[in-house]
Structure 1
């Protein structure tokens, strides 16, 4: 009887010990999986979402997402806050230091030429300080943000950042453009830029009201208001603390500030301004390129008209109609050799569709139209793959409900392409593949 009890106790002890061992082993496995997952996420190249004109980054407008929450679709996404009206050049400089860290340096020569401070805000610790050729990034740019990324890549190739002599175009793994402004837009002329003098505005136009409002906003320099939203002109020192009342008058009269020097976004978005930028920009052989061009027009009886009434945002409908009827002034020299009005009539209310597919002026870059995703697999670097999507310019930002299922389809395909199809040495391991 005693032996039976002893045997029973031994079996019980063995069972409990085995259970404890299994529990400990399981906990260690879970810790190992968790650690591996965290390490793998940290090893993933960041996907950087770059906003367009009048845009904003993370933390602005009370936490509103410019990309309508698309940044939550991947484990490692960055959403920088760049100047919403500053020039493409200045924004590219800001983007570099946002990632790498340090004080924004706009360059001595550029700063003197355009009359602003050489140095801007300081990023004590960059959001991706290890950024280099072995740790590249994916960029996704909306509207003017796409051209900002191209300018930044060219700066990297040209080693244009003091103290960072090892930069190269290979720091950029892929560029995805969402309604990107590569070749300018005829809307700039409708809003007030002069076709014959693309750096300057007409005396009375919509952009003049924008100019006056921006100058006053920056001059007032209300800290909580600028923390909520900022046009990005702090390096022009237009605050009342530095300019005073006479400085304000000088800016309003057009004698000083970004609008006087032309160092702001609109001149860069004219066809002539884009041509000037593009003449220095390359498509690089080790970078993957993909663009989504949007349009909200169709041709009826030989005339381009808006393709929908209810499918176009009310703020853009009139502009879709106006841009579809645009005619370059006959008494003004065309913006480039071979220009034709009919090429520029399809549009999304802000940009012409021809501007969004791939860089085309002054020289057309290698490109391939994509009807189905299988048309571009496997992806080849150095080629602009592009799709044409039915939608207006703001369909895929701010309000995801407007795009519905199409929103998820677009961003899911973008992130999947970044993670599974755009790589150099070996295919990346996805976090959800670690458990398999």
Structure 2
């Protein structure tokens, strides 16, 4: 957005303002979880009539409509700009939202369509890897291959809420009667996962065009870092381990963040001086 001058009134923004980007379990290429939960593979913008996501949709609308302050302070879905509170839309507005005639799910302004493979491809078509920015990503994985079949890598090491989801995603098959989401698609590429995202999606942007990348087995493989390349490391862990519950990750979590800060301090040597925002106006 800085490179695209997307901020009105700020025409001097630049991609050079960003020194480095580090991603931890980021969804660069979408996730097959969306289809398992109810997005239609053939029509990725819409849900199946009966699915888990439909129940979640109803619950989210009612949650926002009730507008209970202490609940909203605990967790907010980010739909406040749709003004779905009972104070503003009343009971008839609630019915309208539940029927899909109003609210975020009628507008398409919600995250699940963007998390489908097709939606991510559309977003990635405008994505750039900039030559002066350093990139590093951590991809999480909780599967392994046994006798040619992908299965969860552990019974007790995976959070109970995610074990079934890891198993489901490891067995994912794109419907054979539908065209694949992109040229070169293979089911087996998308079977390693962390229960929420596919490992292939977390390494670096790959579709519709693959960005420059390098797998990192050991930190010494990428010293010093080169800008304009997505360095990625695969970490054993489920999605809750690093994203939701920091306490479960424990020392491993701390080590990852220590390595991130160390990399920023020691390994990111620029060949040219970084341009800071305030320097542009001098």
What TM-score do the two structures reach when normalised by structure 2?
0.93
TM-fit CA distance, 1:434: 29
Secondary structure, aligned partner of 1:232: coil
8 Å Cα contact 2:17-2:276 kept in structure 1: no
The separation in 2 between residues aligned to 1:301 and 1:433, in whole angstroms, is 59
Distance 1:228 1:353 in 2: 30
Residue-by-residue CA offset, 1:59-105 (whole Å, 9 max, x unaligned): xxxxxxxxxxxxxxxxxxxxxxxxxxxxxxxxxxxxxxxxxxxxxxx
SS in 1 for 2:242: coil
Deviation at 1:332, TM superposition (A): 1.4
Kept in 1, the 8 Å contact 2:197–2:239? The answer is: yes
Matched length = 282
How has the CA–CA distance of structure 1 residues 215 and 433 changed in structure 2, closer, same or farther, with 3 Å as cutoff?
closer
Number of the residue aligned with 2:67? 221
Deviations 1:340-363 (A, max 9, x none): 111111111111111111100000
Alpha-carbon contact 2:216-2:233 (below 8 Å) kept: yes
Distance in 1 separating the partners of 2:88 and 2:123: 32
| Corresponding residue for residue 416 of structure 1 | 262
* Runs of 4+ off more than 6 Å: 425-436
Q: SS at the partner of 1:311?
A: coil
Alignment counterpart, residue 264 of structure 1, candidates 110, 115, 119: 110
Contact 2:17 2:277 in 1 (8 A): no
Q: Is the 8 A contact 2:138 2:233 kept in 1?
A: yes
Q: Which has the bigger relative contact order, CA under 8 A and spacing at least 6?
A: 2
What displacement does 1:221 show? 1.8
The CA deviation at 1:420 is 2.4
Cα deviation per residue 1:279-308 (whole Å; 9 max; x = unaligned)? 011001111100111111111111111111
Given that 1:179 and 1:291 are in contact with CA atoms closer than 8 Å, whether structure 2 keeps it comes out as: yes
TM-superposed deviation, 1:166? 1.2
Q: CA deviation at 1:398?
A: 4.1
Structure 1 residues 20-56: Cα deviation after superposition (integer angstroms, max 9, x where no partner): xxxxxxxxxxxxxxxxxxxxxxxxxxxxxxxxxxxxx
Instruction: Give unpaired runs (5+ residues) of structure 2.
Output: none
What is the CA–CA distance in structure 2 between the aligned matches of 1:163 and 1:332, rounded to whole Å?
A: 45
Q: Deviations over 1:140-160 (max 9, x none)?
A: xxxxxxxxxxxxxxx111101
1:399 CA drift (Å): 3.2
Q: CA deviation digits over 1:230-286, x for unaligned, max 9?
A: 111111111222222111111000111111121101111000000000001100111
Is 1:157 aligned to residue 3 of structure 2? Answer: yes
Query: Looking at CA atoms only, which structure, 1 or 2, has the larger radius of gyration?
Result: 1
Contact 1:420 1:427 in 2 (8 A): no
CA deviations over 1:112-149 (Å, ceiling 9, x no partner): xxxxxxxxxxxxxxxxxxxxxxxxxxxxxxxxxxxxxx
How many angstroms apart in 2 are the aligned matches of 1:190 and 1:267? 13
Aligned-pair RMSD on alpha carbons? 4.5
TM-score scaled to structure 1, two decimals? 0.61
Q: CA deviation at 1:405?
A: 2.5
